[in-house]
Amino acid sequence: MDFVLTDDQSAVVDAIDRLAQSFNEKPIDFHGFALRGDALEQALIEGEYFDIVQIPEYGPTAAALAVSRLAQAPFAVEAALSMLLRHALPGDDWPRPLAVVENGRPGRFVAQARTLIIIDGECIGLARPTPDMLEAVDSIFAYPMGRLVGQPQITPLDGATADTVRQWLRVALAAEASGLLQAALASTVEHVSVRKQFGRPIGTFQALRHRLAECAVLSGGVRWLALQAAATGRPGDAALAASHAQESATRVVYDLHQMLGAMGMTLEHPLHLWTYRLKALLSELGGRGGQAQAVAELCFEAG
């Protein structure tokens, strides 16, 4: 797979990177779980970045890179579904923010959503809820969480459209997870480079270096599989990307928190702003079991 970007794609990715750099640091006075990125979202709206996937010169590859970069910010903003899924919805009257309600459970950005993707088993539908139908939920997942408490009118999707929506949900999950993993790994590397034990930075010890290298390999794999899924538009690639993202996040989150020791259990350090978002992604779309089944069905022919 050739991942060389065009000049147009490079330009828009660079523009989003410059915009996101203004939001790279966690506010000193913030010691909670969900750090909302309202200002970042407004900047993206003003720059009309949420629609880049529909511009032929940019396409899904640039959108996936944008989602990954925005996920590296400590601020949570609903970008993945808006940038990678909304173009696949039937019609053009589904406003953002988007959120997923899966089998009635609370979900990310549900309390702020204007369009809901309702997943009930194998069935998928779309709804435009009113604010009174939504309720915010306290959570440790580092996203603004919410649940559906009303009964909106649901537009069911036919089988083919539902499959397409499920495919781009997987691409969005993998792209967002890749950015979260990169940011969490970078934050940990910074910590072990300055935290000293026995008179030297703990990051110089071989045991930690080996584990960090393994985390970097897993993180890199998530990134490249997400980009491949976005570029090819193949359902099997999307299933593989989502599966590897959820499998890798399980391992990497454990390792990174262990490397930070007690600091990894505090709200003072920003690591949880990425790792606890990853924990939220672990259960989505059926979790690792659901992705494994999708990979089996979409990537391997029955014997």
pTM: 0.95
- 116 contacts 148 by C-beta, under 8 angstroms: yes
Q: Which pLDDT belongs to residue 1? A: 62
Q: Which pLDDT belongs to residue 265? A: 79
158, HSE (Cβ side, Cα atoms, 13 Å): 3
Average of per-residue pLDDT values in the chain? 93
- Strand order across the 145-148 sheet: 107-108, 145-148, 134-137
List pLDDT tens digits, range 177-225.
999 999 999 999 988 887 767 778 877 778 888 999 999 999 999 999 9
d(CA 168, CA 84): 6
List pLDDT tens digits, range 45-56.
999 999 999 999
- Structural domains of the chain ordered from first start: 161-299 (1.20.140.10)
Beta strands at 134-137 and 98-102: parallel, antiparallel or unpaired: unpaired
Percent of the chain at pLDDT above 70?
98
The residue-averaged pLDDT of 131-159 equals 96
d(CA 239, CA 166): 9
List pLDDT tens digits, range 96-108.
999 999 999 999 9
8-state DSSP, 4: P
List pLDDT tens digits, range 260-279.
887 877 888 899 999 999 99
DSSP per-residue letters across 161-180: HHHHHHHHHHHHHHHHHHHH
The residue-averaged pLDDT of 109-132 equals 96
The residue-averaged pLDDT of 47-74 equals 96
Q: Which pLDDT belongs to residue 264? A: 79
Number of Cβ atoms within 10 Å of the Cβ of 147: 16
Query: Quick one: pLDDT band at residue 302, thresholds 50, 70, 90?
Result: low
Q: Which residues of 24-60 are buried (b: 16+ CB within 10 A; e: fewer)?
A: eebeeeeeebbbebeebbebbeeeebbebbeeeebbb
Q: Which pLDDT belongs to residue 194? A: 77
Beta bridge partners of 57: none
Q: Which pLDDT belongs to residue 34? A: 92
Q: Which pLDDT belongs to residue 93? A: 84
- The amino acid at 189: V
